[in-house]
Amino acid sequence: MKTKALYPGSFDPLTMGHLNIIRRAAKLYDELTIGVVSNPSKASMFTLEEREEMLKDALRDLPNVKVDHFSGLLADYVNRMGFDVVVRGLRATTDFEYEIQMAQMNARLFNESVETVFLMTDPQYSFISSSVVKEVHTLGGCIDGLVPDEILKRMVK
Ligand code: PNS
């Protein structure tokens, strides 16, 4: 049976850290869906449509990866779509506190067989987050190599 994995997140914007997790997860599972969260009450740099478009562009070479979006509870989306695994990336101990809370809460809400699986971020990307990249760029700092080139072009626009 095929294992269907989901990598959920805001991806505002997609970073090299996300890409690293996606490429590694795509090797581990038969099908990987990138689930972009739609949260209209949260201010974002890019719209949901732009975030999905940027992901599709960046992941064109990965045949078993597709891009989708969801709103509301992650667990409802996971149960409805029949995912087996939810992938999250872990950078540092600071991520761990938030992630364990989310994983344990979701474990109560997921269908019985669904697991959250953590991949350790490659050390070269451990300091990167969408928010730090946005802040540095907005204040005029260089973020070359921290997001895909196409995304940097859109951020400059
Ligand atoms: O990239 P992010 O912002 O760290 O992703 C967080 C995300 C989207 C996975 C998380 O906020 C989420 O699952 N949101 C959907 C709402 C939800 O299910 N909340 C309860 C989590 S226990």
pLDDT at 71: 97
Average pLDDT of adjacent 10-residue blocks, the chain of 157 residues: 97 98 98 96 94 97 98 98 98 92 98 97 96 97 96 93
Residue among 48, 74, 90 whose CB has most ligand 1 atoms within 8 A, to mutate: 74
Do residues 143 and 23 make contact, with C-beta atoms less than 8 angstroms apart? Answer: no
pLDDT at 7: 99
CA nearest to 148, candidates 26, 45, 34, 18: 18
Residue 9 CA to ligand 1 centre (angstroms)? 6
pLDDT at 5: 98
Strands 31-37 and 115-120: unpaired
pLDDT at 94: 84
pTM, two decimals, is 0.97
pLDDT at 92: 84
| Element containing residue 28 per DSSP (H, E) | helix 16-28
113 in catalytic set: no
Q: Where are the beta strands (DSSP E) in 38-142?
A: 65-70, 85-90, 115-120
Domains and CATH numbers, the chain: 4-156 (3.40.50.620)
The secondary structure of residue 3, as a DSSP letter, is P
pLDDT at 40: 86
Closest-lying ligand 1 atom to the alpha carbon of residue 88 = 9
pLDDT at 93: 85
| Sign of the CA dihedral with 25 first, then 27, 32, and 35 last | positive
Closest-lying ligand 1 atom to the alpha carbon of residue 101 = 22
SS3 107: helix
Catalytic residue among 18, 51, 88, 137: 18
Closest-lying ligand 1 atom to the alpha carbon of residue 106 = 22
